[in-house]
């Protein structure tokens, strides 16, 4: 069924606790944890607890949960004190754009100068 945990999904296993992660925030519908390979001083991933392959399919099926992911991304930025200096929310979609984990997730990056355009 849409949204159900997938046995072969890394982020479903982080949601269930089967794989450990450094969790910085949790809500009824989302989990936020530090990226294992940080690309900036603050690099946190915000994921929905339900499984959808990317942000757009999540938003189409569960718009309220997609909004929760965005709101939590903003809360992470405030917790990490990068909201003043600026931060970036990235939604890589598809392997050609660098998506490697096919469970929707938002990257929250901040704490250093962020190049624009990203290249």
Which residues are the active-site residues? 105
H or E element in which residue 64 lies: helix 63-79
**C-beta of 48: minimal distance to Zn ion in Å?**
9
**C-beta of 112: minimal distance to ligand 5GP in Å?**
16
Residue 92 binds ligand 5GP, judged by CB under 6 A: yes
Our CB check for ligand 5GP shows the closer of 1 and 36 to be 36
Q: Are 33 and 23 in contact (CB under 8 A)?
A: yes
Q: How far is CA 46 from the centre of its chain?
A: 3
Could you tell me which of 53, 40, 42 has the C-alpha nearest to residue 79?
Answer: 42
Residue 101 binds Zn ion, judged by CB under 5 A: no
Residue 48, classed as helix, strand or coil, is strand
**C-beta of 16: minimal distance to ligand 5GP in Å?**
13
Among 78, 86, 98, 112, binds ligand 5GP (CB under 6 A): 98
């Amino acid at each position: 069924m849409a949204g159900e945990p997938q046995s072969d999904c890394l982020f479903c296993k982080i949601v269930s606790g089967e794989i450990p992660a450094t969790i910085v925030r949790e809500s009824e519908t989302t989990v936020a944890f530090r990226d294992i390979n940080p690309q900036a001083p603050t690099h946190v991933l915000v994921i929905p607890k339900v499984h959808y392959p990317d942000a757009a399919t999540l938003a189409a099926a569960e718009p309220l949960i997609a909004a929760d992911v965005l709101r939590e991304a903003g809360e992470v930025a405030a917790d990490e004190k990068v909201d003043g200096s600026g931060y970036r929310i990235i939604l890589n979609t598809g392997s050609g754009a660098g998506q490697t984990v096919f469970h929707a997730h938002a990257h929250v990056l901040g704490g250093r100068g962020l190049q624009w355009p990203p290249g």
